[in-house]
Structure 1
Amino acid sequence: MTVRLGQIMHVNPNYFSEYEKRHRSLPTKFPQMKKALKEAGAHNYSIYLDKRTGTLFAYLEVDDVAKYREIAQTPGCKEWWHYMAKLMDVNPDESPVTIDLDEVFHMD
């Protein structure tokens, strides 16, 4: 069963371009992160930026939420977080500050 996830994060306004650039280079510069996402069952993953506020909205689908959450323990994920930490609001472990959203409507 596929689970749809929505999350909000924040990127610092001075880093909008760099944030986008780093995500464009993810497949070549951080293939281990893309691989970890795929192995964790993540797919149909998109991130949207509101340039007025720096708010990021992430949408993704996962096969198993618990398995997906395990990605946080992988070396590739921790390396990616470190690489992105300067650009975003982060927790002490450099993971992005993330607000999970509750789905209130979905139309097939």
Structure 2
Amino acid sequence: MQLKPGMAAEYRRRHDELWPDLAEALSQAGIHDYSIFLDEETLILFAVLKLRENHSADALPQLPVMRRWWDHMADIMEVEPGNRPREWPLQPMFYFA
């Protein structure tokens, strides 16, 4: 994901105040151990999360709370039409277990 310049503190503040109904939706979808990292030079946000077996994370974009969150974040991030955060896949390069 891509943060807009000068928005790092605001991004952190909004996530520090994550809405309880969004947190519940993420948990119910099977998401846990979720972290977002910022590359301060490029303003790229990198998210890492774990999904439980039989998760329903693919259904999150249809939830009203998720769409409200996207609208809430659209002014500080690069977004697609509909305010979904702009995302792109990364090529795995190394894994150590």
TM above 0.5: yes
Report the count of equivalent residues: 97
> For 1:60, what is the secondary structure of its paired residue?
strand
Classify 1:70/1:64 alpha carbon distance in 2 versus 1 (closer, same or farther; 3 Å). Answer: farther
TM-score, normalisation: structure 1: 0.82
RMSD: 1.6
In the TM superposition, structure 1's runs of 4+ consecutive aligned residues that sit over 3 Å from their partners are: none
> Could you list the runs of 5+ residues in structure 1 that have no partner in the other structure?
1-8
Deviation at 1:66, TM superposition (A): 6.8
Higher helix share: 1
**Aligned residue number for residue 16 of structure 1:** 8
> For 2:92, what is the secondary structure of its paired residue?
coil
> For 1:98, what is the secondary structure of its paired residue?
coil
Which has the bigger relative contact order, CA under 8 A and spacing at least 6?
1
Picking from 21, 25, 28, the partner of 2:17 is 25
**Aligned residue number for residue 93 of structure 1:** 82
TM-score, normalisation: structure 2: 0.91
Higher strand share: 1
